Structure 1
């Protein structure tokens, strides 16, 4: 933000720009609603009167298609409070024209303050300045507003009958309309509580003095409203990419905005993308809606993004008609791709997907299958998808430059759907990141692809994880089970108590949270473990489940932990043993499987790949 863009304006200018026809100040469609309570409005005007800095408003001059909306002028309750705020859809040409000709600008930061000011000065929200007791008309001429403000009541939302109160909306109207003194007196006598009380009491002397104070106060507010330095702002002239970056980096109060919010505002005039996201969420209760994934998939389905699906390109070129044409297909393909992964046991549930973006190439695969009129996969296609999934996960393929990987893999999977041969060079960057069991011990972040991949691979190898309290399969599915969590089978509390007598005391703290000490199980099973010795709680579970050995084996947990009490004090050796099983599986599904895939899809002689 360049310093030369810093400036200031008066409250009068702000209101006039909001009311202008055509409008000069608008809000982006995606901005949250006006949420300030009245107390915040009182505090804002108290600060303005006292000369306390209230922060700068940031305006933007966008040069791209967008739907904007007017300031919220609805009453807080009653009739009209639920009416929709008017929205205005601007084409790129119109927004550039109105920006250049009329000075159109949008509020990027400061919506609550600007809306609060507007509503108070227009009388939508009633705000009153209470004059301190015993002030005379002569004193009003000499003192400033801060000195004239009541020490206890100051700025509030109620007109009172025992003090002169200045309604800010009337003071603003006075500034605009310049009424005669008899008109001001009529307002004072009939519309203020103090004026009505004095008129009814017939106390002409006190009424005259109170009116003089009321009348002398109005020009002071006129001066305040017209003060050009009262409200500071920055005006940013920005393109679409900078506009998006601004919102992603300046989110406040926990309101998270990203490029899909800007895109929703851009296409709002012809496609309600935000509503489409909400409808998708309602049809998939409990499932997190990955909006960026759905948008990128739509871009690919449109056929207009042959090289890149980066944010800037999508924001610039993805249009409402693309969503109209492909949204239904995108959501259906999303369901099909996810169902495939769950049915084939590649993932336990959507919440344990190693990379959400891996769904996009799979969606493109099924889209191509439908175009080819193929109802089911061939054995070769299933072989390829199995290798591609595990090799992508354990090479951490989508950790960086995921847009490039999405594009490359979408193209390859489309070719696989068409039954085409592939180039051998495609297979060069799928080497697993994990070489041995000790390396696996370093993965303890549940968000990492390797961590999730291990849990999914164990599930895949077992043909479904088995409960420890019975020999039945743990309930999973596309949504997963809320109670299904990754728990320590060497409880942390137990390791803390026995750290000094474990086989590798120096390593216990480092490995206690690693993926090799984690199993997916329902919460109630984990509660049985508590902080007990593994051998002890497993013996208790054996009474409930005589087939416990089979259940442990499904999780690749060494059965010897149940049979040998001393193994509870060999955490390092036990995890190393389990890690050995996992590394063998990783090799089988990646390096070893690649030979078969090459033989099926690459015309050249298979290349021996070194581990």
Structure 2
């Protein structure tokens, strides 16, 4: 931000509406902002607060200086014809938006869209909002009362007119301020368009018509004062760069509406490429698969060749153009599917949801692109060997946990070299050592979001040539893109451990610590009905063997010790069983990383004199 904004400015509701209604609107919304969602009762509460002088929070406007697509304030009816009509969108180039904001006064709503839209809709009559006048008021009382004291104590701001007391439509009060109609015009409106006026006029009660009209007429200037009061609407005006604009939205997300830099980027390129629609189409063609929008954007950037060193959000926002998505989006989707299919087919990952790091797809995507560029077709044995080491070494060294953008670009360059059959520098192998040195360390991993946690479950799948379902012995499959949901189940049931904590081979505290760790988890399809409840492992496994005679093979595929089905006492040795499983897992971690690395170095580093090509 270029200046301090410690103090809010203010303006009138009249000025707010005029800016929205201008031939060249001066208040617009970013294209990515959510739709207007307030219920009419929230609008009533807002105007009740305005009438009572209760602070309703500040609106935050921004002065953009970068290309972006904006849209008008929602003026569609809540029901009926036009409810789903498209909202007008206006695409600005960087030059156009700078001129509009710096010369013409254009500003965009960063925070306060619902309040701003509610005010506009009520004062323009799109939403019918009424001010109910207190029923005991007479002309003399109204004359000396402000709006708050003249308001009905129970109805106040309401959504409907009433025939038993005076109600002021806010949109008519606003029109009165703008057009200053003659009294006979106001009286005609009162008689024809208000329920009380129409009722009294139809009854022929001229005296009461005139009396209540005077109350109606005396109320209108009070609204004029309210609408023109310059201090009524508090706002901040921020002069923001694109990067700070993005950070503002990322840090001010609320009410479950999550925005990040891809939303701003989508609004930026909207005039020529509908990135949001592209994401939605991806979802439709990849059922059951989460869309990692940032991954797709970063891959697109790498496809351009202009982002070989940096793909952080500020550079992407500033330099990515609609033409980049037009040129590369279809290829990015195809490369994404190829890279993911490779991981699933080679059993490096059992499902998308359980990928240790989504961003590891990007170097693999660029690897396949490089293969295409040199017309090499599919990867050879030597390349497979390198990728196998790179994948598991990256996962268990937690390579992508921090500074992932730098790791992505570094790995892209390396895998592109591997695709071309070139040697790589020996210093690339630094910092690939696994984070796990001892089986007991695996006990500390109990968060399913952890790369190590996910890596363990995937490595078990890989090392055993496929996980098997415990209920039928068949290989667990989630399709070529791994979109079917799997869940991580406890095989020492939590209910059983709660009952038998005192009988286990470790303290109550240790049982509580290890019960949720990855060593006590196995992946199963969501619809698998194990019905193990709080049973001891021996009992439910013996029951499962009646359905699946090859249950031992299923257990082996998950590296679960077979003692659990052959010895009932093993159910009371949780620590021993989990550590035994951990040692088997650790052996495989070392096999795929530390033990594989010397041969990988020999084949692929600059010091090597030769290496196989197939």
TM-score, normalised via structure 1 length: 0.97
Give runs of aligned pairs for residues 311-326 of structure 1, distance below 5 A. 311-326=313-328
Cα distance change of structure 1 residues 405 and 148 upon mapping to structure 2, 3 Å threshold: same
Q: Report the counterpart of residue 57 of structure 1 in structure 2.
A: 59
8 Å CA contact retained: 1:161, 1:193: yes
Q: Report the counterpart of residue 218 of structure 2 in structure 1.
A: 216
2:356 aligned with 1:362: no
Whole-Å separation in 2 of the counterparts to 1:197 and 1:562: 85
Which residue among 431, 434, 437 is the counterpart of 1:432?
Answer: 434
By how many angstroms is 1:136 displaced?
Answer: 2.1
Which residue among 156, 161, 164 is the counterpart of 2:163?
Answer: 161
Q: Report the counterpart of residue 205 of structure 1 in structure 2.
A: 207
2:342 aligned with 1:340: yes
Encode CA deviations 1:381-439: one digit per residue, 9 max, x unaligned.
00001000000000000000000000000011111111101111101111100001011
Encode CA deviations 1:467-516: one digit per residue, 9 max, x unaligned.
11222212223454756311111111111111112111242111111111
Which residue among 193, 196, 202 is the counterpart of 2:195?
Answer: 193
With 181-190 and 426-435 compared, the bigger mean Cα shift is at 181-190
2:578 aligned with 1:582: no
Q: Report the counterpart of residue 265 of structure 2 in structure 1.
A: 263
Q: Report the counterpart of residue 464 of structure 1 in structure 2.
A: 466
Residue 348 of structure 1 aligns to a residue in which SS? coil
Which residue among 452, 455, 461 is the counterpart of 1:453?
Answer: 455
Whole-Å separation in 2 of the counterparts to 1:540 and 1:483: 25
8 Å CA contact retained: 1:364, 1:413: yes
By how many angstroms is 1:265 displaced?
Answer: 0.5
Whole-Å separation in 1 of the counterparts to 2:58 and 2:480: 47
Q: Report the counterpart of residue 541 of structure 2 in structure 1.
A: 538
Cα distance change of structure 1 residues 215 and 318 upon mapping to structure 2, 3 Å threshold: same
Residue 127 of structure 2 aligns to a residue in which SS? coil
Give runs of aligned pairs for residues 122-133 of structure 1, distance below 5 A. 122-133=124-135
Whole-Å separation in 2 of the counterparts to 1:565 and 1:198: 90
Residue 585 of structure 2 aligns to a residue in which SS? helix
By how many angstroms is 1:373 displaced?
Answer: 0.7
Cα distance change of structure 1 residues 5 and 94 upon mapping to structure 2, 3 Å threshold: farther
Encode CA deviations 1:507-549: one digit per residue, 9 max, x unaligned.
2111111111111123565633221111111111122222121
Q: Report the counterpart of residue 95 of structure 1 in structure 2.
A: 97
With 431-440 and 195-204 compared, the bigger mean Cα shift is at 195-204
Give runs of aligned pairs for residues 585-600 of structure 1, distance below 5 A. 585-600=588-603
Q: Report the counterpart of residue 86 of structure 2 in structure 1.
A: 84
Residue 591 of structure 1 aligns to a residue in which SS? coil
Cα distance change of structure 1 residues 4 and 547 upon mapping to structure 2, 3 Å threshold: closer
Whole-Å separation in 2 of the counterparts to 1:91 and 1:62: 11
By how many angstroms is 1:40 displaced?
Answer: 1.0
8 Å CA contact retained: 1:349, 1:478: no
Cα distance change of structure 1 residues 146 and 81 upon mapping to structure 2, 3 Å threshold: same
Aligned positions, number: 606
Residue 441 of structure 1 aligns to a residue in which SS? helix
Whole-Å separation in 2 of the counterparts to 1:534 and 1:451: 22
TM-score, normalised via structure 2 length: 0.97
By how many angstroms is 1:209 displaced?
Answer: 1.0
RMSD: 1.4
Unpaired segments ≥5 residues, structure 1 = 607-611
With 454-463 and 524-533 compared, the bigger mean Cα shift is at 524-533
Q: Report the counterpart of residue 150 of structure 2 in structure 1.
A: 148
By how many angstroms is 1:3 displaced?
Answer: 4.2
8 Å CA contact retained: 1:558, 1:578: yes
Whole-Å separation in 2 of the counterparts to 1:389 and 1:162: 76
Cα distance change of structure 1 residues 279 and 107 upon mapping to structure 2, 3 Å threshold: same
Whole-Å separation in 1 of the counterparts to 2:353 and 2:185: 68
Whole-Å separation in 1 of the counterparts to 2:485 and 2:248: 38
With 166-175 and 490-499 compared, the bigger mean Cα shift is at 490-499
Q: Report the counterpart of residue 499 of structure 2 in structure 1.
A: 497
